[in-house]
Amino acid sequence: MATTGSPFSAQPYQGISTFGRRPHTRNLSGVDVAILGVPYDSSTSYRSGARFGPRAIREQSLLLWGYNNAQQVAPFEVLNVVDYGDVDIIPVDIHATHQAIEQTAATIQQAETRLISLGGDHSISLPLLRACHKQHGPLAVVHFDAHPDTWDEEYPTFKYSHGTPFRRAIEEGLIDTAAYLQIGIRGPTAGPQDYADAKQLGARLITFDEAAELGVRNVLSEIQQRVGPRPLYVTLDIDAIDPAFAPGTGTPEVGGFSSYQMLQLLRGLGDLNLVGADLVEVSPPFDSQHITAILAANLVFELLSLMARKTTK
């Protein structure tokens, strides 16, 4: 039986769907970590639907029970975690939406509460990084993705969309490029300049091919080495993972990580100083029997566990 009185004593199909059955509140007093939904998907270039991502991840998070055997920690016991609800987004205006995201994220972080955000499309990482940077200065960023997302413009003359956030973030000085890794990049691009540009901007671009060649352990060593004691932000585009394991996403790329490889990659971040994270591009209308949302909920659980283990040390 589940620990009585724990948020997981009810069965997963019962009750109101907050993340991990944590209280839904905007009162941040004594709160260690807030889960924030950001249901914005108007900047996707292929399939929309990520606006339903936060809801689907919350729903499947009720399957998590409470103890992480791999990381040997019960994050909801170690940390005071709340579900902050969603940012109010304006689907017709990316600027107003980004402002609302930044403001909400900043409010949370100013309360000394760490933030894990659930997308929504990848454009949301830019305002999230802005808010995190305010609190922590330039950030080490571990960026799991199939795509570099460092285009200058995805739509002619438009600087903001889900293909450009990391170029903007670098231009704005939010990222410490000495500790910026893109991991899992693959698939066709507009041309060879896409990868070249990402590298020139300072990213350590590890394609999926290279990651497969290196193996999980060597990738983790390089992450550890580059990030070191810096404040770390993890941004995880679910399309870093192969569509067989994560079909519910906007721009799927074949030939990516398995779920297990991604679990290992997150678990291997154990000693780093994780100050914030987002998980984006889960698109439930394209999911298959919720397997993408279940995976996403588990990945957030791993991120929470990383924060919890750091706390207990």
CB of 162 to a second copy, least distance (A): 9
Residues in the chain, overall count: 313
Q: Is 214 in the site for a second copy (CB under 8 A)?
A: no
Q: Is 171 in the site for a second copy (CB under 8 A)?
A: no
Measured over the CA atoms of residue 29, residue 35, residue 40 and residue 43, the dihedral's sign is: positive
Of the candidates 131, 227, 263, 308, which one interacts with a second copy according to CB under 8 A? 263
Q: Give the strands of the sheet with 81-86, arranged side by side.
A: 81-86, 33-38, 114-119, 273-280, 231-237, 139-144, 175-185, 204-207
CA angle 132, 72, 266 (to 5 degrees): 45
Q: Which residues contact 284 (CB under 8 A, 6 or more apart)?
A: 49, 52, 53, 55, 56, 248, 290, 292, 293
CB 272 within 8 A of CB 313: no
Residues 110-149 that bind a second copy (CB under 8 A): 123
Closer residue to a second copy, CB minimum distance, 63 or 111: 63
Residues 52-71 that bind a second copy (CB under 8 A): 52, 55, 58-59, 63-70
Of the candidates 5, 13, 29, 313, which one interacts with a second copy according to CB under 8 A? 13
| String marking each residue 269-288 x if it binds a second copy according to CB under 8 A | ----------------xxxx
CB of 147 to a second copy, least distance (A): 10
Of the candidates 144, 166, 233, 301, which one interacts with a second copy according to CB under 8 A? 301
Closer residue to a second copy, CB minimum distance, 39 or 276: 39
Closer residue to a second copy, CB minimum distance, 58 or 136: 58
